[in-house]
Amino acid sequence: MNNVNFFRVLKKLIIIFILINMAFFTKDIYGTNDVINKQAQMLNIDNFLAESSKTTEEVFGNLDYFDIFNNLITGNTDIKNTFPSIISFFKSESKIIFKSIITIFIVVIINSIFKAVCENLGNESVR
C-alpha cells in the first residue's frame, strides 16, 4: 500500500513539474518570434522578397502557379486567362532549352573537329 501511495504522489509531482515547465517554455516561443521578426528587419528580408517578386513577375508575367493549381483542383478554371499564360511560359522555357541543346551540339562538333585534327597530326594522346 505504501508503494502505491508513493507512486501516486510521484506521478502527481511529475505532472505538476511538466505543467510548470510548459508554462515557461511557451513564453520562450513567443520571444523567439520577436527575435525572428527583428532579425528579418535587420537583414532587410522583406525588401529582398519584394524585389524577388518583381523579378519573377517580369520574367513570368502575371502567372501565379499556386492560384492555377488551386483553381484546377477545385474546378474553378478560367481557360481564357490561364491557358495563354501557360503557353507563353512554355514558349519561353522551350527557347531556353533549344538554345542549350544547340550550344551543346556546337561544343560536341568543335570537340570532334579538334580530335580529328590532332589524330591527323599524329598526336594520339587526345581522346
Residue 8, C-beta contacts closer than 8 angstroms, at least 6 positions apart: none
Q: State residue 46's pLDDT score.
A: 76
The per-residue pLDDT for 2 is: 66
Per-residue model confidence (pLDDT) at position 98: 92
- 43 residue type, one letter: L
Confidence (pTM): 0.38
CB contact at 8 A, 48 and 62: no
pLDDT for the residue 106: 96
pLDDT for the residue numbered 110: 95
Query: Domain residue spans in the chain?
Result: 1-43, 61-127
Q: Over its length of 127 residues, how does the chain's per-residue pLDDT go in tens digits?
A: 566 778 788 888 888 888 777 766 655 555 566 777 777 778 787 787 777 777 766 666 666 666 666 776 777 766 676 677 677 778 878 888 999 999 999 999 999 998 888 888 876 665 5
- pLDDT value of position 88: 74
Q: What is the pLDDT of residue 25?
A: 65
CA distance 16 to 11: 9
How many angstroms separate the Cα of 23 from the Cα of each of 17, 32, 53, 75, 126? 10, 15, 40, 45, 72
